Structure formats: C-alpha cells, structure tokens
Chain A
Amino acid sequence: GEDVEQSLFLSVREGDSSVINCTYTDSSSTYLYWYKQEPGAGLQLLTYIFSNMDMKQDQRLTVLLNKKDKHLSLRIADTQTGDSAIYFCAESDTGGFKTIFGAGTRLFVKA
C-alpha cells in the first residue's frame, strides 16, 4: 500500500537552514503537502505542491520535489525557535482524496 516516510528528528541552531526530507511510494500522488503541528494543537498547512512542479517557494519556505525518486523536501531558511514543532509530509490523489501522512519529523531549534 501507499506509504510516506520521514526521518524522526532534526536539530539545528537558530539562524541556520533546516531541511526536512520525505519519501513517498504512490506514483499517482497528485498533491504533496507539508503540515506543522505545535504541542497540543491540530495540524496547520504550511505549503503544498502539485506533482507537475519541481519547486515552490513561499517566504522562508522552499519545497523541492523529485518525482522520479519520489522525494520531497522542505527547507526553512533562517530557522527560529518558533519553528520548533513536528512537521508532517502528506500526499493525496487527484481531488484531494485519500490523504496519507508520514509519521512526522520533530524539529528542535537551539538558541
């Protein structure tokens, strides 16, 4: 079945760039997402990319998609302590159905 995999932890220093990686298995995935979850809160959509795109930039966030390798990454420039959270990669098919989430990457930002 479909699967989304992420590394579990990432630790960076404040001001550095963070890169969170994700691999997925479903080649029919049409939309790929990055969500952020802070303690005790629900998930918040950060950004998403269509499968026909290679890159998307939104302020401090850069998403790169390698469709051949089924690899998605999220780069956070100038990481701040407020960026400490769990980041989930997710995929869905055309129409936004059957959204599948990875287990999440916990980002620690050291001051």
Chain B
Amino acid sequence: EAGVAQSPRYKIIEKRQSVAFWCNPISGHATLYWYQQILGQGPKLLIQFQNNGVVDDSQLPKDRFSAERLKGVDSTLKIQPAKLEDSAVYLCASSLEPIISYEQYFGPGTRLTVT
C-alpha cells in the first residue's frame, strides 16, 4: 500500500514570496490533515478536512495560509506571503473515517526555509 506522498521535500524561498505544498493521501482515506512542525516542537494542526469539507481550521493563519482539497483526494497548502517564522516542516497526514480508525498516517513532510 502506498503511503502519504508529499512534494516538494525541500523548499527555500525569500520572505514575502509565495509557496505551495502538495499532498496525496492514502487511497480511500477520508480525512486529511496539515500540520506545521517548527524545529524542536511537536506538530501543530493547521487544518483538517473530512472529504471535501473543512472540519477544523481554527489554527490556520488565514491572512496568509490557505488550503484546499479538491474532489476529496489531493490537497494543496499555500502560504502567501511567507514570513521568516513560517520556516518549519509541513506534514500531511490522512486517516480513514473517524468511526473506523483514529490512526493518522503521516507523509515525510516538506521542509520550508524562509530567508
């Protein structure tokens, strides 16, 4: 079974530039999560999708971050414009319907460096 795919794996941009990350969850997983993991910290949930709909985006900085999940499969996370403090690893995870399983499967992450 293929795991959660993310691209790119690494990205270096200057502040005020834009960047987008892509995630392809495990086939059949209804729930998709985007996390931000700053060096030395645990992952922080940015947004959670259930199929096409947003379940929780309370910690997403909506003035600069946006995310979408088209057709309930792939997802993109965008930052526009980036700030220095956005430097982090962005992790995507997916899981089956919550009533079936609470296990989240994580991708390898995209390491973003903002200079």
Interface residues of A (CB under 8 A from B): 4, 31, 33, 40-45, 48, 88, 90, 92, 95-104
Contact = CB atoms under 8 A, between A and B. Distances in A.
B44 to A, nearest CB: 7
Given A41-B108, A42-B91, A42-B108, A101 B42 contact: yes
Contacts of B13: none
Contacts, number: 51
B103 A43 contact: no
Contact of B104 (A45, A98, A104): A45
A97 B31 CA distance: 10
Given A95-B98, A97-B98, A103-B42, 5 more contacts: A43-B106, A45-B103, A45-B104, A101-B44, A104-B41
A40 B108 contact: yes
A30 B91 CA distance: 23
Given A101-B42, A103-B42, A42 B4 contact: yes
Nearest to A100: B45
A98 B98 CA distance: 12
Interface in B90-110: 91, 93, 95, 98, 102-109
A92 B103 CA distance: 11
Contacts of B31: 96
B75 interface: no
B43 interface: yes
Contacts of B102: 31, 33, 48, 92, 96
Contacts of B104: 43, 45, 99
A2 B40 CA distance: 19
A90 B55 CA distance: 19
Contacts of B44: 101
Given A31-B102, A45-B103, A97 B55 contact: yes
Given A40-B108, A42-B109, A48-B102, A98 B42 contact: no
